[in-house]
């Protein structure tokens, strides 16, 4: 213990008795470096996937083999795509890394855990004829949305958040300065995903 203290590696065992559910709640309350939509997704993953498995387990008792078994079981059920399992593993690693930073544990049990590759999905692009058929099928109320989605290269949140004053028909341009996201069941305005997302199309 004295050697660990001298090295700055000693961790008070009492801190690690905090359950994962309690620590995850503390972690979620202090996350300030994520976009609202990313934070909302991470908190949802913790609630849906991580708390049911690790919720009552003291943080210090979560071991590397437990994490590996959790990832393997998620893959084995076939209910989740590898990309989903990978994201869940990454968020678990974030929560446990924060426990290390807070001094609850000396080392993250996620260190060295291999996550499944995300895999590349083949992208499908509509032909001009298919775009026209789709626009006709949705009716006049949504026709402009289909054409804008197909040819302007906007993300869904940017399309949903597009206001009339951002469209200049005379210059044939769309100015993208905001987007609309659904966060925990309510709509929230925010900036584009990246700084480069502010643009004229």
CATH number of 2-101: 1.10.150.130
Is residue 179 classed as helix, strand or coil in its secondary structure? strand
Is residue 133 classed as helix, strand or coil in its secondary structure? helix
Q: Which of 12, 187, 174, 38 is nearest to 104 (CA)?
A: 12
Q: Estimate to the nearest angstrom the gap between the alpha carbon of 153 and the chain centroid.
A: 22
- pLDDT per residue as tens digits for the range 8-32: 554 555 555 789 999 999 999 888 7
Is residue 187 classed as helix, strand or coil in its secondary structure? strand
The sign of the CA dihedral 159, 164, 168, 170 is positive
Domain residue ranges of the chain, discontinuous segments joined by +: 2-101, 128-200
- Record the pTM: 0.68
- pLDDT per residue as tens digits for the range 90-138: 999 999 999 999 888 989 999 999 999 877 778 888 999 999 999 999 9
Query: How large is the average pLDDT for residues 178-196?
Result: 82
Query: How large is the average pLDDT for residues 60-86?
Result: 93
């Amino acid at each position: 213990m004295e050697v660990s203290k001298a090295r700055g590696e000693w961790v008070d065992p009492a801190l690690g008795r905090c359950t994962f559910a309690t620590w995850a709640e503390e972690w979620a309350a202090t996350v300030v470096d994520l976009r609202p939509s990313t934070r909302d997704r991470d908190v949802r993953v913790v609630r849906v996937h991580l708390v049911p498995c690790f919720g009552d387990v003291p943080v210090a008792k979560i071991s590397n083999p437990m994490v590996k078994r959790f990832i393997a079981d998620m893959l084995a059920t076939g209910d989740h795509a590898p990309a989903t399992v990978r994201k869940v593993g990454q968020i678990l690693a974030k929560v446990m890394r924060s426990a290390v930073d807070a001094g609850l544990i000396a080392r993250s049990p996620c260190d060295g855990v291999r996550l499944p590759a995300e895999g590349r999905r083949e992208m499908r692009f509509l032909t001009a004829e298919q775009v026209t058929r789709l626009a006709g099928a949705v009716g006049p109320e949504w026709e402009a949305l289909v054409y804008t989605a197909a040819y302007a290269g906007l993300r869904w949140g940017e399309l949903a958040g597009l206001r009339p004053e951002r469209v200049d028909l005379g210059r044939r341009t769309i100015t993208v300065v905001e987007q609309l996201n659904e966060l925990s069941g309510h709509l929230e305005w925010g900036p584009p995903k990246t700084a480069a997302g502010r643009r004229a199309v």
